[in-house]
Amino acid sequence: MKTQSPRPNGRALLVLAARADGKFDRDELKVIADYAEQELLQMQRLGRSGLVLTGEMLEQLTKMIRELRPRPDYITEYLERVEAMNEAALGRFWRAMNCLLHADGDFSDDEAGFIDSLDAIRQR
């Protein structure tokens, strides 16, 4: 299993949110994989990546996300990194978070608690 390092990105927070209720279902995985794909395509558009995304690469990315185990003790660092993104990237992240929280059709108390913890960190 891969453990997310303190060099966070939006995927780390999305995975933590998905796992907040103790489940990580296929609809949540799809939201995160779609977000990651969008971010890679955006990097291509901006000339920051020479990668050409293939179906096989997207499958590997989805597998990596499924196996990702971000460290909850890095949540502040993850959020600081996300909040430092430009406005467009930040908007894409929060839209993905919103889709993720409703992906399985149930906004649980644990997921609400996770969002409350993010809000508390943002208020500091």
Q: In this prediction, what percent of the chain has a pLDDT beyond 70?
A: 90
3-state helix, strand, coil split of the chain in percent (to 5) is 70, 5, 25
- CA 62 to chain CA centroid, Å, is 12
pTM (two decimals): 0.86
For residue 19, pLDDT beyond 60: yes
**Residue 68: enclosing H or E segment and its boundaries?**
strand 68-69
For residue 9, pLDDT beyond 90: no
Q: Taking the alpha carbons of 110, 88, 64, 71 in that order, is the dihedral positive or negative?
A: negative
Greater confidence (8 vs 108) lies with: 108
Average pLDDT on 59-73 reads 93
**Residue 3: enclosing H or E segment and its boundaries?**
strand 2-3
pLDDT grade, residue 49 (50/70/90)?
A: low
